[in-house]
Amino acid sequence: MRPLNVLALNSGSSSLKFGMYRVDLSGAEKLLGESIALAEHPDAMAQIAGVLAASGLPPPDAIGHRIVHGGPVLRQHCRIDDAVLRQLQAAVAFAPLHAPAALALIRFAQAQFPGIPQAACFDTTFHAELPEVARVLPIAKGLQAEGIRRYGFHGLSLESIVQQLGNGLPVRLVIAHLGNGASITAVKGGKSIDTSMGLTPTGGVIMGTRSGDLDPGLLVYLMREKRFDAARIEALVDHESGLRGISGLDSDMRELHKAAPSDPDARLAIEMFCQSVRKQIAAMIAVLDGLDLLVFTGGIGENDAVVRASICAGLSWIGVNLDDSRNWLASNPINNATSRCSVQVLISKEDEQIARHAWTLVA
């Protein structure tokens, strides 16, 4: 399999990260990486092409895209063709916050780099073999047959953690991917066996602007008493809730820390986030029947020592104990000598995983 220059495109709900990697059997070497806003804007790919040209790098041999949700049909990473594009369009309803931007980006990339093979890399693939007890939602069987089930997300990030651990991968691992989107996953022997997100990336723990799990009766109440329609419900749970909704201030944890000394709502938002994550970690420990390693990753997980300490302070019953100085420096392992399990901070390398998968599919 020959080495290739692979352009990895990681489109989120409001921004676009991209990186150029030289990929071969020995691994992926990062040649360039940047982030821009407005992934759905037609100029996004032109900006990327301009950055590549200015850097002296040649056009890519292949392009890989992060796709949050492929729906019930697209469960494995694949090369993009017309049939795949039709399936991606059909799956937009599962991830309306992310899918339109990803589809637009694929089309812009096809126009900017005609003839270059492209690959779809799914955040749901890591969870494709979830056991039934975690996969099946407690709803009518007829709806289950339509693909309404737990899918799980952040799979590319989780893959990158497993990849980094290598031979040090333990049997019982919990990964806390904490960022604007957040999820907790139980990994046993390298396989996802349960995860906090469900049918869509809105479920699970409290997030930046997403509610996480809610009493379904609340949504029925809002529809019945407040006359909320689907669009209004979607705006509420995806854009107006989470840290932003609780604080009434901001979805950015850094801004909430600044405000917390004088703002009780900002403090409450931080406390609720930490408790939400702590409860899910405890649930995943129960699923795994114990814990060998807890990994923090994502923007908050990697950079916020205060949040890590708060989460772990409530896990001392299971033997999770941090070393304050190592936690503050994110110097692995961040647990102290009395801890019954290891705790580490690892950088999420989604883009590198995208490049690896694209190379495998194309080379």
Contact 167, 145 (CB under 8 A): no
Q: Could you tell me which of 19, 47, 5 has the C-alpha nearest to residue 350? A: 19
Catalytic residue among 43, 61, 81, 123: 123
Contact 121, 10 (CB under 8 A): no
CA distance 291 to 286: 9
Show the beta-strand stretches assigned E in 38-190. Answer: 62-67, 78-79, 118-122, 172-178, 182-188
Tokens 């850094």: give the residue. Answer: 254
CB neighbourhood size of 98 (10 A): 24
Contact 158, 187 (CB under 8 A): yes
With a CB cutoff of 8 Å and minimum separation 6, the contacts of 13 are 97, 98, 101, 180
Which letter, b or e, does each residue of 57-94 get, where b requires 16 or more Cβ atoms within 10 Å of its Cβ? eeebbbbbbbbbbbbbebeebbebeeebbebbeebeeb
**Catalytic residue at 292?**
no
Helix (H) or strand (E) holding 110, with range, is helix 99-112
C-alpha separations of 350 from 2, 335, 356 in Å: 22, 25, 10
CA distance 278 to 303: 17
CB neighbourhood size of 324 (10 A): 11
Give the catalytic positions in this structure.
Answer: 123
